[in-house]
Structure 1
Amino acid sequence: MMEVELPEDATVPTLTRSFAACVASVTETPIAEVPQPRADLPGAISHWRSWLAGRGAGLVTLGKPSSFSWPGYWLAILGRPGLSADAHDATAVLMFGTPSGVVLSPQDPSLLGRAATDLPVREGYVLCGLDPALIAPTSPLPQLSGTVAAIALAERATGDMRTVDHAQALANRGLDGDRYAAKAGTFTPTDDTTRGYDLTLIEAEVLDSLTLPEARTLGYAEARRNVVTHGLDLNALVGRRFRVGNVECLGQRLCEPCSHLERLTTKGTLRGLIHRGGLRADVLSDGVITTGDLIETID
């Protein structure tokens, strides 16, 4: 996403301008290139759908927006139930994360970081590609390596993380002493077949460069990931097998930030870690992970 302010054209309804700014942000398109029809929201959405189709994308209406969340962007209209589509006090915002929080609010910046569950979400839309096959990787996968910079565990779901020099990895469970290995994490699935909750990793380079409001920072343990890595592109490990020390793992998906993480840390964490929040992985073998261990791909 990119930062986009509310366009100033007063001939276009405020809600339409705000929604256009959110579309510009999530598509990383200059706001001047995003249509801003002089229409209420339903009419404008029809216009944007045609425009997006030309870019290979669509705008999907959510059936139950008040309870929706996913580890990606979506657009929400906030307002009291029963408001008309162009109501004066309706607000368009960009959401992100599971659970979701506001990452862009052109009409009301004070909403940044607010959890979707705390807001009156009236409508919701997901902007997505029309053909998922087009996003599949086609080039050969490179050999990647890095090292373990830190290890952190928390015994309870919202308990403080503590750093340790080494940790016992348990296949299909996680790190001994951590809440997810004990099946007690905030997002621990009830279905044992759901994958990607054993181990979380984040890059030291991301945390070292992360600047939050009022010059705040996020320490390695505060990031609430199990393994902090150095010299490794974690996003490139999605779908790949890799080894941490002598422990074999499988990268499942990005460990995107969410409103829950921001609530436990500090304001700005949600926005600051979008697509930089690290990796969720399965632990495939028992072993010990130690600070300084080599991390390398094995496929």
Structure 2
Amino acid sequence: MLFLFFILFQLFYSIQCQLTCHNCPRESNIFNTIITADTIPENLKDCTLISEQMECSIHVTWTQNPDQTILILMPGGERNSISNRYNLQNTITLTNTGSQLQWTKSLDFICSTEQCNSPIILKRLLKSLKSDDSFYTLSQLLEINNQFHGSLCNFFANSSMSCETEMDQNTCKQCATQEYIESKPVEVCSNCVMDDIIENFITRQVKFFMNNRERHDMWMIECQQRDCNAIETGDLIRQKSDIQFDFDLFLNNGNNKFKDISSVCLLFSIFMKTFYL
């Protein structure tokens, strides 16, 4: 009987969970402007459909000075865990490269339903996502300091993850703080970086999980000014950026079938891991 169930599960799994994804290559979809939901082209260039995939993905990168948008639709994506199959990640970063300030924003969407990375879905993602910042007002925190010493940094940890605070300050090259919220309270790791490649930056990242409508927040700074990695800087990063996602607008806009099939695929994946592997 168990073998019969296995055959049925295997057959249904292969039918429902082997996907067709859109493939629109990077080199054909680079635009010298900041693309929004209102200005995205109706048709992307050199797109094809690729079948027998487990996941599909969408990747968008925006940069300024000069303005540019890169759109990529492709099969595959992260496969770190089964639960990582219908997620959106939005990241905003301001970097001092030593010669200029570089602003970058990215969108990464991983999904596991039929043609879930279509241009129509991309447009709906952009309509549902609010992503604003004024990081340029914090640029003084990112100034290069050729006389840097680790004594300029704050060292503190209340993180459940590994966070080294007893460090040789003579070997520090930058101060660093990472703060994140998966569940309250905010977890903080403040220390220093010893890498020789120095690019001071501020970043804000939010991950949105479609299946349970959760969000995980992370913000980070690497810098070289006195006390630039203080906990108060994390408050400034949050105040100077706003990332929100309207789950109702995205999921309820004719998209329920995506959730249903994704749940089926998840159940079959668990079954396979439990009874077969």
Q: TM-score, normalised by structure 1?
A: 0.25
Which structure features the higher share of helix residues?
2
Under a length normalisation based on structure 2, what TM-score does the superposition of the two structures give? 0.27
